[in-house]
Each structure stands twice: as structure tokens, then as C-alpha cells.
Structure 1
């Protein structure tokens, strides 16, 4: 049987794990980045429905929404090239 310290340690590790798993993108100077509003418009023109759009601490643009097939997606993009760095279709 686990004691309270072991349970607390397990919970603390599980809670902090996502912070270590964040996707990292190259840090581009602001003048070289695609402006967020312009990039969102490009994505919408490609058929994405964006529920959430943000710039991550890891220097990526991240979206939550649906792709043109209507499937839920979470995608990280390079801020300069607009190319996907990591994606998950749900």
C-alpha cells in the first residue's frame, strides 16, 4: 500500500509532466515572424476552424480547432515558415 508521501510524489510528477513536454520551435526575430492575424487568416483559407490560437512559451503558434475534414486538431506551427512542427488529430 502506498503512503501519503508516495501518493503526493506521484501526483506532483503527473501534474508537472506537461510542462516538460511542450513543443519547442526556433525563436525567430519578431520582424521575421508571420503576423498572428495574417497566419490565422491563412489557416482559415485552408479550411481550419480555429477555436483557440496562441503563441506558446516554446516559440510556436498553436491552434486547437478542426481541420477541413471536421476532425479535432491540436497543431504547433513554426512562426516564420508556418510549417507544422507537431500535430495531433483526435
Structure 2
């Protein structure tokens, strides 16, 4: 179903991390049968060098807490259908 994870979106978004920690991510609503596989997202992130500490469904978003390949803490929200990044936050260690 899902062809290829948009790696350039992840790199671009993480380069421009939001400083707004408390604002909720605004993800589009899709029927569950249209959601991309959680495993697809996890595998793509791990292939990019991310370590996932926590993966969850948050409202209408997939959300991960973990570390970037540089070892920095991140919180990232993804669109459940396209797996595009909706919001990314760099967290202080």
C-alpha cells in the first residue's frame, strides 16, 4: 500500500524544529482502514537512524518519542495516512 517513506520531509522538518512544545498537532482524520502501517513508519525511522522510545496513536496522529541519529531527543507527529510529518519538536536532554 505505502510505497516509500518521504525521507526528505523528515530531514527538512527536523532541521526546522518547532519551539512550540505545548501546541497540539493538527492531523487530518482518516477512516482506520486508510491508515498506513505503524510498522512501515517504525522501520523507516529506524533505517534513518532514529531510536524510538515510545510510539503511540495520539488523536489522529502517530506520535513518537525518541532520539535522532545525532542522539538528540525528539517528539514527532505523523499523518496516519501519508506518514508525512505534521509537527516535530526537539526536546532538551
TM-score under structure 1 length normalisation: 0.70
Who is 1:30 aligned against? 32
How far did 1:71 drift? Answer: 0.6
Who is 2:54 aligned against? 52
Task: Give, in whole Å, the separation in 2 of the partners of 1:42 and 1:31.
Answer: 20
Q: Output the aligned Cα RMSD.
A: 1.3
Q: Gaps spanning 5+ residues in structure 2: where?
A: 1-21
1:1-90 paired onto structure 2 within 5 Å: 21-57=23-59, 59-90=60-91
- Higher RCO (Cα < 8 Å, 6 or more apart): 2
Q: Gaps spanning 5+ residues in structure 1: where?
A: 1-17
TM-score under structure 2 length normalisation: 0.68
Question: SS in structure 1 opposite 2:27?
Answer: coil
Of Structure 1 and Structure 2, the greater helix share is in: 1
Higher Rg:
1
**Runs of 4+ displaced beyond 4 Å:** none
